[in-house]
Amino acid sequence: MNSIVCIKRVPDSETRVRIASDGLAVDRSGVKFDMNEYDKYALEEAIRRKEEAGEGLVTVLTVGGDDARETLRQALAMGADEAVLLRAETGFDGLPVAVALAEEIRDRPFDLLLFGKQAIDDDGMQVPAMVAELLGLPAATVVVSLEIEAGRAVARREVEGGHETVEFDLPGIVAAQKGLNEPRYPSLKGIMAAKKKPLEEKDVTLVEGGLELLELSGPPDRPEPQILGEGAEAVPELVRRLREEVKVL
Amino acid sequence: MSFAGVDFYDVDGLLSEEERAVRDMVREWVESELMPVINEHYTTHSFPKQLIPQMGELGFYGANLPEEYGCAGLNNVAYGLIMQELERGDSGLRSFASVQGALVMYPIFAFGSEEQRKRWLPLLATGEKIGCFGLTEPDFGSNPGGMLTRAVKDGDEWVLNGAKMWITNGSMADVAVIWAKTGDIDDSRSIRGFIVETDRDGFSAKDQEGKLSLLASDTSELVLQDVRVPDANLLPKSGGLKSPLMCLTQARYGIAWGAIGAAMACFTEARDYALNRVQFAGKPIAATQIQQTRLADMLTEITKAQLLALQLGRLKDAGTFNSDQVSMAKRNNVDMACECAREARRLLGGNGILVEYQSMRHMANLESVYTYEGTHDIHGLILGHAITGLPAYE
């Protein structure tokens, strides 16, 4: 079972992100970065499939800057066998990244191509489906469970209000949702071994995307809390506000 | 909000990527696996035994020993960072790992035969076997050379008799490294180390009752009554009091790092509490001068301790450190952590006495850490001896 896992280096989910002075980028200074959480489910799935099969290769792939090496080594420490860094300056547009990944993946043999369902930085949710289209492969996104037998995959996906089960032939694409598995910690031996695993780097030129970033803005400030009164006397006004202003009743 | 550490002087910038990866992994593990259960274990006076196998799987035990024995083969700075993060959770958990690694695996590695190493180290590294270290006795703490435990040769066997006290992991251990005199009772040069399986006849362990510190840790008293072990259980390269003291140097090194973790936990809790606790004129207590200088003192001392530990680790990795330098770091850093814990507890006011806040737990734990592995005062004497050349122990 050979898998390719596409991962992304993103700000840690607890980092407070600041917008840079030009209003078009995130200020990276003092920000702690980590592997995108959903990518960890994807990677864990690939490692487990390989362990269960007793053979195979797990390749991790990312498009990013020099600092993305650290994230690739994190993946190698968890148990991936080899890593590839496609060095390029990335933005908020998913298409150029998807094209670069598809170009790299096209000539590689694999059974499963895994992604996290989305990256928690720009929440684009575009790349897995775009790569599927570019490679002409079946794709199941937001996957919470996966079964593979004799070259055929059955994936259970989360959809609005319920679940959907889909079936497809391998090779195919799976975009992982939380719940697919419980990602492992990289062991100390894994961290030591990661140094000795191959990490290939190549410069790539990204194609023009279709999106133009106009502005980044932070969430609105929370409004000052209001005290409507005390005890039962406040209830009519509270109900009126909930109905007319918040519109939840 | 998960624990983010304390790093005012960009000490992170002095660490390698690998050292940071190790630290981050252990930090995340402590946050997810230990923090949700520590209060329950502390209040019920139990060690979180369920964590032992996973800690082994991840490689926490004897992590600075070589890979060929099933260990992670880390450098000493990375090893120290593991201790820091474990003690950020609880001193009891760090004590467990310290004893397993520095006081059981290390002596088997340093003084054991190749056969002993190959037999025991892989089992101890995974946590399949748990170890303890028997040096201190009821009447001999700071002066271990006075020990009364004897080992007498009888044919191909050794017969051990004596009592050991304050033994971390004592009741749950599968194997004990026991130090005993093989010659005259006044001759501390005759001290040798023995690997003693705890299921041997005549070996018993009893929980230490009445502790008000390290409540999530197994502390026991060991009694050895005519315990027979084969000659093959003698650690062949051990000899004299120097051997157990070399083990203590390893453990003290880890403690110097561990104390920083406990202090970081207390500082972080105190800062967050001060920013949220509003008293007088609608202002958080963090806006008052007394709490600000309190926090400033804590941060300053933590930063100094970090630099002390890091340089000590670099010296240890270079093979040029000495035990006097370890004494300074253990003495300074644990004392620093005791102060931080106490000041944090005070800053927290009445809430500070509750188990749902960490500071008082750390404060109580650190009194043991201050005392074990060479008391604060004894390390002062070791430094005094190093400065003047004049021993003042007697």
- Reported ipTM: 0.90
| B250, B204: one domain | no
Cα distance between residue B91 and residue B254, in whole Å: 11
Residue B226, classed as helix, strand or coil, is strand
Residue to mutate among A40, A51, A191, with most B CBs inside 10 A, is A191
To the nearest 10 degrees (0 to 180), the angle between helices B242-276 and B289-318 is 150
Whether residue B21 and residue A14 make contact (CB cut-off 8 A), yes or no, is no
Domain membership of residue A209 (yes or no) is: no
Tell me what pLDDT residue A208 has: 92
Residue to mutate among B7, B17, B60, with most A CBs inside 10 A, is B17
Q: Do B319 and B242 form a contact (C-beta atoms < 8 A)?
A: no
Find residue A233's DSSP bridge partners: none
| B290, B384: one domain | yes
Tell me what pLDDT residue B106 has: 98
Nearest alpha-carbon partner for A78 in A113, A118, A42: A42
In A, minimum Cα distance to B61 occurs at A188
Looking at residue B15, its amino acid is L
| B108, B193: one domain | no
Tell me what pLDDT residue A188 has: 97
Whether residue A32 and residue B4 make contact (CB cut-off 8 A), yes or no, is yes
| B248, B381: one domain | yes
In chain B, what residues touch A185 (CB-CB under 8 Å)? 25, 28-29, 58
Using a pLDDT cut of 90, give the percent of chain A over it: 76
In chain A, what residues touch B7 (CB-CB under 8 Å)? none
Is A32 within 8 Å of chain B by CB?
A: yes
Which residue, of B126, B155, B172, is where some domain finishes?
B126
Nearest alpha-carbon partner for A8 in A131, A158, A110: A131
Whether residue A188 and residue B57 make contact (CB cut-off 8 A), yes or no, is no
Domain membership of residue A232 (yes or no) is: no
Is B22 within 8 Å of chain A by CB?
A: yes
To the nearest 10 degrees (0 to 180), the angle between helices B242-276 and B359-371 is 160
**Residue B310 burial (10 A CB sphere; 0-12, 13-18, 19+):** buried
Whether residue B22 and residue A191 make contact (CB cut-off 8 A), yes or no, is yes
Tell me what pLDDT residue A235 has: 93
Tell me what pLDDT residue A229 has: 87
Domain membership of residue B166 (yes or no) is: yes
To the nearest 10 degrees (0 to 180), the angle between helices B323-347 and B289-318 is 160
Is A11 within 8 Å of chain B by CB?
A: no
Cα distance between residue B324 and residue B314, in whole Å: 15
| B274, B342: one domain | yes
Domain membership of residue B4 (yes or no) is: no
Residue B10, classed as helix, strand or coil, is coil
Domain membership of residue B393 (yes or no) is: no
Domain membership of residue B3 (yes or no) is: no
Whether residue A77 and residue B17 make contact (CB cut-off 8 A), yes or no, is no
Cα distance between residue B203 and residue B225, in whole Å: 6
In chain A, what residues touch B72 (CB-CB under 8 Å)? 187-189, 191-192
Q: Which phi and psi angles does B157 have, rounded to 5°? A: -120, 165
pTM of model > 0.90: yes
**CB neighbour list of residue A34: distance below 8 Å, 6 or more residues apart:** A9, A10, A11, A12, A13, A71, A74
**With bands split at pLDDT 50, 70 and 90, how would you rate the model's confidence at A223?**
confident
The 3-class SS string of chain A reads CCEEEECCEEECCCCCCEECCCCCCEECCCCCEEECHHHHHHHHHHHHHHHHHCCCCEEEEEEECCCHHHHHHHHHHHCCCEEEEEECCCCCCHHHHHHHHHHHHCCCCCCEEEEECCCCCCCCCCHHHHHHHHHCCCEEEEEEEEEEECCEEEEEEEECCEEEEEEEECCEEEEECCCCCCCCCCCHHHHHHHCCCCEEEEECCCCCCCCCCCCCCCCCCCCCCCCCCCHHHHHHHHHHHHHHHHCCC
Tell me what pLDDT residue B234 has: 98
Tell me what pLDDT residue A67 has: 94
Is B17 within 8 Å of chain A by CB?
A: yes
Which residue, of B178, B206, B233, is where some domain finishes?
B233
Question: Quick one: residue B388, left, alpha or beta (phi over 0 = left, psi -120 to 50 = alpha)?
Answer: alpha
* A32, A188, A195: residue with CB nearest B22: A188
In chain A, what residues touch B73 (CB-CB under 8 Å)? 189, 192
Whether residue B18 and residue A70 make contact (CB cut-off 8 A), yes or no, is no
Residue B373 designated active-site? yes
| B368, B254: one domain | yes
Domain membership of residue A163 (yes or no) is: yes
Residue B84, classed as helix, strand or coil, is helix
To the nearest 10 degrees (0 to 180), the angle between helices B359-371 and B323-347 is 150
| B100, B210: one domain | no
| B248, B383: one domain | yes
The predicted-structure confidence for A14-34, as pLDDT tens digits, reads as follows: 888 888 888 888 888 888 899
Tell me what pLDDT residue A227 has: 85
Domain membership of residue A150 (yes or no) is: yes
Which residue, of B172, B205, B233, is where some domain finishes?
B233
Q: Do A177 and A145 form a contact (C-beta atoms < 8 A)?
A: no
The residue range of the domain holding B341 is 242-388
Domain membership of residue B189 (yes or no) is: yes
Cα distance between residue A39 and residue B201, in whole Å: 54
Domain membership of residue A98 (yes or no) is: yes
| B286, B380: one domain | yes
Domain membership of residue B394 (yes or no) is: no
Catalytic residue, chosen from B221, B269, B301, B373, is B373
Cα distance between residue A83 and residue A201, in whole Å: 9
Q: What is the CATH number of the domain that holds B183?
A: 2.40.110.10
In chain B, what residues touch A191 (CB-CB under 8 Å)? 18, 21-22, 25, 72
Q: How far apart are the first and last CA of chain B?
A: 51
Tell me what pLDDT residue B139 has: 93
| B136, B122: one domain | no
Whether residue B74 and residue A192 make contact (CB cut-off 8 A), yes or no, is yes
Q: Are strands A82-87 and A199-203 parallel, antiparallel or unpaired?
A: parallel
For chain A positions 163-192, those within 8 Å of chain B (CB to CB) are 185-189, 191-192
Q: What is the CATH number of the domain that holds A91?
A: 3.40.50.620
CA atoms within 13 A on the CB side of B207: 12
Tell me what pLDDT residue B380 has: 97
* A32, A74, A188: residue with CB nearest B58: A188
Cα distance between residue B347 and residue B380, in whole Å: 29
Residue to mutate among B58, B83, B126, with most A CBs inside 10 A, is B58
Q: What is the mean pLDDT of residues A101-109?
A: 96
Cα distance between residue B225 and residue B162, in whole Å: 7
Domain membership of residue B5 (yes or no) is: no
Domain membership of residue A53 (yes or no) is: yes
In chain B, what residues touch A77 (CB-CB under 8 Å)? 21
Q: Do B289 and B362 form a contact (C-beta atoms < 8 A)?
A: no
Total number of domains constituting chain A: 1
* Average pLDDT for runs of 10 along chain B of length 394: 92 96 97 98 98 98 97 97 98 98 98 98 98 96 95 97 97 98 95 98 97 97 98 97 96 98 98 96 95 98 98 98 98 98 98 97 98 96 98 90
User: Does the structure show a pLDDT above 80 at A127?
Assistant: yes
| B372, B274: one domain | yes
Tell me what pLDDT residue B211 has: 97
User: Does the structure show a pLDDT above 90 at A179?
Assistant: yes
The residue range of the domain holding A90 is 2-203
In chain A, what residues touch B74 (CB-CB under 8 Å)? 188, 192
Whether residue B72 and residue A188 make contact (CB cut-off 8 A), yes or no, is yes
| B100, B194: one domain | no
Domain membership of residue A216 (yes or no) is: no
Domain membership of residue A114 (yes or no) is: yes
Q: What is the CATH number of the domain that holds B338?
A: 1.20.140.10
Total number of domains constituting chain B: 3
Q: What is the H or E stretch that residue B220 is in?
A: strand B219-230
* A14, A32, A77: residue with CB nearest B21: A77
Tell me what pLDDT residue B162 has: 97
